[in-house]
Structure 1
Amino acid sequence: MGHMEEEPQLHHACAEKWDFNWLLHRATQRVGAAFAEEIAKFGVSVRGQLILQTLANEEAQRTQLKLGAMLGLDKTTLTSELDKLERAGLVTRVPDPNDRRVRTPVITDRGRELQKQAGDALAEVERAFRARFTHEEMTVIRQALIDLANSETPVHGSCL
């Protein structure tokens, strides 16, 4: 008798939602929840990690305004995240000598170390999701997602 592939088990209320948008949404929720759970172990948010990663990888220092524009984070969100990172000793904000209203976030040694450890942990979470697929399948999935993300209509909002 041939092997019949079983349909994935879905909650009854969701059975009618077996469509493209719903699947993308649920997949995003699941991956996002796994990332949030892992990063919480380090005492920062996924956005906080993104900021630390950007500060750790950038050669040139960026003002808060430039950092926010680069990451697509509004001033209020960025300020809130930087406040948390600064309280934790992961970032310091240096006033511009020419304009004291302008501040440049700089990652601390402690922030750099945490960012590296958290980045490694998040890479492991991603590897676990990718391991479900062959290399060829991941190539197709990645290209499909790039195509969807890079539509002709600009998408506004942050990296997260």
Structure 2
Amino acid sequence: MNKISQNTPDCTIFLLAKAYQKAHGQFKAKLRPYNLTNLQHLVLEGLWIEEGVTAADLGKLLVMDKATLSGVLDRMIDSGWIRKESDPDDGRVLRLYTTEKSADLREELIALRIAANEEMLAGFSHEEQVLFKRLLKDLS
């Protein structure tokens, strides 16, 4: 075995990537029946926190770049999850809102995310879960 392959499993970047792939894949599978992607679910959660925000403000809240968010929003509008409306005070400003479809599934989708998080962390003690989340926040 060469030196590079011996060190790869102990590489922090590699380990984070593998953990992300696993978590992302598991949640993606849970969202498939709803025809939602992980990013689309994140957008819904952001709008449930702050309904009526602009795309720019939502991007800041979710730490998503404008180009990525724009495509996600367009697909979500087309599939009936969200809608855009002109601001009543300034017609040039567009605000984002959830639709009845997303409102009807809000509790179910939030519960799905909570269950996915709990499932992913099930092998950790409470203290390890708290520490793990803190470390992830510190990294981001």
Q: TM-score range by the shorter chain?
A: 0.7 to 0.9
Please give the secondary structure, in 1, of the residue aligned with 2:34.
Answer: coil
Q: Aligned to 2:47, which of 44, 48, 55?
A: 55
Instruction: Write the deviation string for residues 84-122 of structure 1: whole angstroms up to 9, x where unpaired.
Output: 221222211102345443211111121122233222112
Q: 1:43 deviation in Å?
A: 0.8
TM-score, normalised to structure 2, is 0.81
Instruction: Write the deviation string for residues 51-104 of structure 1: whole angstroms up to 9, x where unpaired.
Output: 11111222x621222222322323332222122221222211102345443211
TM-score, normalised to structure 1, is 0.72
- Identity score, percent: 26
CA contact (8 A) 1:61 1:104 kept: yes
Q: Work out the CA distance in 2 between the residues paired with 1:141 and 1:97.
A: 44
- Higher RCO, Cα 8 Å, sep 6+: 1
What amino acid maps onto 1:64 in structure 2?
Answer: A
The structure that is helix-richer by fraction is 2
What amino acid maps onto 1:26 in structure 2?
Answer: K
Aligned ranges 1:114-133 → 2 under 5 Å = 114-133=105-124
Can you give the 5+ residue segments of structure 2 that lack an aligned partner in the other structure?
none
Q: Aligned to 2:35, which of 29, 43, 51?
A: 43
1:17 paired to 2:8: yes
Runs of 4+ with >6 A deviation:
none
Q: Work out the CA distance in 1 between the residues paired with 2:24 and 2:120.
A: 11
